[in-house]
Chains A and B, each alone.
Chain A
Amino acid sequence: MLLFVAGLAGILFLGLTAQPTSTVVLLPDADGIAGAVDIRTESDRQSLNVAYASATNNARGVFVTQSENAESVRARYAQTLAAIPKVSVSFVLVFEFGSAVDIAPAFQPVLAQLRAAVTDYPSPEITVIGHTDRVGSAQDNDRLSLQRAQTVRDLLVNAGVDPSLIAIAGRGEREPAVATADEVPLADNRRVEINLR
């Protein structure tokens, strides 16, 4: 009788405290190398940093890890993986002398590439992102990068691209193509990126 009561209490206790279980599987990135995820429950933590490693928490919130392989993961999550949207693509226009006029020759081939690619993207969205080199203040470069983006946006619209698909952004000098010291002029960094997603 005592055993029965203890057993019942045990079941109740487990029932009340049992954690729901989930699984995380780490996938390789586009370059084939895996990044890392840190997972935690109320009582445990685990890092996954090898492709196709998985971790499932048990009812007590403790992780059980496994090394899986590409085939089994692809088979188990086939429908999920098949629904991943296409990775975005960027086309870059360099502002050789820093002015808007000098991109005209480079624009036509980029426009042709964009037109060819846009049909691969369902419900396409375009973000035109301006960048500067590190000459001038950060604030001035924010303004300048946005102006460059606006210039390219206008070129796209004049070429017949639906303006409702286009957003603009100015990244200023935050994301140089080539890292330099401050105040270094460099054409490669004076650019506009047309990102299609």
Chain B
Amino acid sequence: MNPWKFITVCAALLLAASQTFAADVAGTVKVSKGQVTIERDQQQLPAPVGTRIFTSDRVMTGENGSVGITLRDSTLLSAGPNSTVDLNKFSFDSTTHAGAIDATVRRGTLSVISGKIAKASPEAVRFSAPGMTLGVRGTSFIIDAGQ
């Protein structure tokens, strides 16, 4: 491969990678109080305001912790103290508003104000908590998974 071709291929790959990165971002931490961590690829990361959230992230709060996350489709999530929430799946097409949300509240509390995906395709929005699953018809609610 000649050097120019190599550079072009590298640039194309970088561009593709950066676009994938942008597309994979599910949301952003907007409120972070007390102890808030993200578990990603078996690593625990602190999650101050501005932290990007991705599919497969686990969000955890400590005893006096709470966290607020705005997803890319304008869904508003917030978790209270001693909470563990898994974002199993998130996808959103900003042209058609098609997409999917799948999240599990393992313990603690999660409030949800649903966004554009719930409006366009409510059947693609699923939350679950120990013992139950929820379907949403464009609304606000709290899930309390207890301890």
Contacts and interface: CB of A to CB of B under 8 A. Distances in A.
Q: Which of A26, A37, A88 has the most CB of B within 10 A?
A: A37
A24 B95 contact: no
A85 B137 contact: no
Contacts of A38: 134-137
Contact of B94 (A26, A35, A79, A169): A169
Given A85-B31, A85-B69, A19 B134 contact: no
A172 to B, nearest CB: 7
Contacts of A84: 31, 68, 76, 78, 111, 113
Given A22-B131, A83-B80, A85-B76, A27 B141 contact: yes
Contacts of A23: 143-144, 146
A40 B132 contact: yes
A41 interface: yes
A128 B39 CA distance: 31
Given A80-B78, A87-B76, A142 B95 contact: yes
B142 A80 contact: yes
Interface stretch (A92-100, A105-113, A117-125, A154-162): A117-125
Contacts of B105: 22
Contacts of B31: 83-85, 122
Interface residues of A, number: 50
A29 B67 contact: no
Contacts of B42: none
A122 to B, nearest CB: 5
A191 B22 CA distance: 25
Contacts of A83: 31, 33, 66-68, 78-80, 111
A20 B143 contact: no
B28 A24 contact: no
A164 to B, nearest CB: 10
Contacts of B141: 24-27, 37, 48
Given A29-B139, A80-B111, A20 B131 contact: yes
Given A80-B80, A82-B66, A127 B94 contact: yes
A81 B111 contact: yes
Interface string B10-33: 000000000000100000111101
Contact of B30 (A27, A86, A127): A86
A21 interface: yes
B70 interface: yes
Interface of B: 22, 28-31, 33, 49-50, 66-70, 74, 76, 78-81, 94-97, 105, 109-111, 113-114, 129-146
